[in-house]
Every structure is written in C-alpha cells, then in structure tokens.
Amino acid sequence: MNPTRRTLLALPLALLLGGCSTRRSRRRRRSGGGSVSGGGTPSAATLRLNPKYRESSVALALMQTGTPYRYGGASPATGFDCSGLVYYVYGQLLGSSERARLPRSAAQWAAASRAVPSGQMRRGDLVFFNTSRRTRYSHVGIYLGDGQFVHAPSTGKRVRKNSLSERYYKQHFLGARSIFAD
C-alpha cells in the first residue's frame, strides 16, 4: 500500500483514538484501554520490541523535527500529537502485524512499557510527563540521550528537541519507560 493511501486510512483511526496534548480542550478524550490505575501504575501487556530498533527510532524521530503539531495527528503529512509521533516512529520500524498492537495515547504507551530508573535511560526509551489534571501520563517523547528528547509539544508548535533539565519539563517529568526487550 502506498504511503499516501496508508495515511488516508490511518487518519480517521488516529482521530478516533485521540492523542495527547498539553492544551486543555473540550475535544480531548480520556484515554481508553491500557488503563492506568488510580495510583498511577500502568497495567497492561508490556511491549518487548527488538533492541535493534533503538537507534533507528531516534533517527526517525529526529527526522520529524519541524513537523507541525496536530491534535490526533500521526503522520508527517498531517502533523503529529505527542503519542502520534511515537506511534508513527515505532510503526515505521515494525511489520503490519506488530504495528497493529501499538498503543496510541500517552497513557496507553505508559501502560505498555516498563519503568526505567533515571540513571539507566537509553536512547529510544520513552519519557513521560504529567501536563494535565485529567490524565497522569498526558505527554510522551522519545529520549535521545544526554538529557535530550524529541516530542510534539502542543498546538501551534512543531516537533522539536528539548532538554529534560528545562524548568517546565523538569517540573512535569514522571520518568522514563522502555518498550524494548533488553
């Protein structure tokens, strides 16, 4: 299937499933599936991707810098929200049967990953933030190493790199989680 057709088919699904946003919006939905319990501990089947995808995921994520933010977006052609960027990056690296089991919202990504101590974060791990009063895991990015991550920040902005040491991200940082089998 050509990329344009795949994008057209994926867009309605992405809009249905929603995404994440730092903007409070009436359109915003609570994430479904892969729930996070009241204590904030994710509970769902953990992804165990091949570690060979670590460097490719970082490279592919960096290639998306400059792409506009779009609520519910999951492609370079239409724009990304934070979880849509993560979904796109790992979806490009996997076959269609594996891609079908990837989460879509930030909370679902948290539920499908395992905690990584801050001192053991590796390139390609996911970094999570609480930027909303509604959902604990409300924002996600891909860790680049050296305290840097790439993400789709919010409406009106573009996919970009930021530092975990920046005041805003430091205050809202929940921790890193891994989707890799290593």
Choice among 10, 14, 61, 82 that is catalytic? 82
**162 occurs within a structural domain:** yes
Beta strands in 21-110 (DSSP E): 74-75, 79-80
Asked if 139 is an active-site residue, the reply is yes
Asked if 82 is an active-site residue, the reply is yes
- Total domain count, the chain: 1
**71 occurs within a structural domain:** yes
Rounded to the nearest 10 degrees, what angle do helices 82-93 and 53-63 cross at?
A: 130
What confidence tens digit (pLDDT) does each residue in 110-120 have? 999 999 998 99
- Domain carrying residue 136: 3-19+35-178
What confidence tens digit (pLDDT) does each residue in 72-131 have? 999 999 999 999 999 999 999 998 888 888 999 999 999 999 999 989 999 999 999 999
**163 occurs within a structural domain:** yes
User: What is the Cα–Cα distance from 99 to 115, expressed in whole angstroms?
Assistant: 22
Q: What is the pTM of this model?
A: 0.77
| CATH code: domain of residue 115 | 3.90.1720.10
Choice among 140, 151, 173, 177 that is catalytic? 151
CA 73 to chain centre: 12
Token pair 């996600």: residue: 140
Structure tokens at 104: 């879509």
Asked if 151 is an active-site residue, the reply is yes
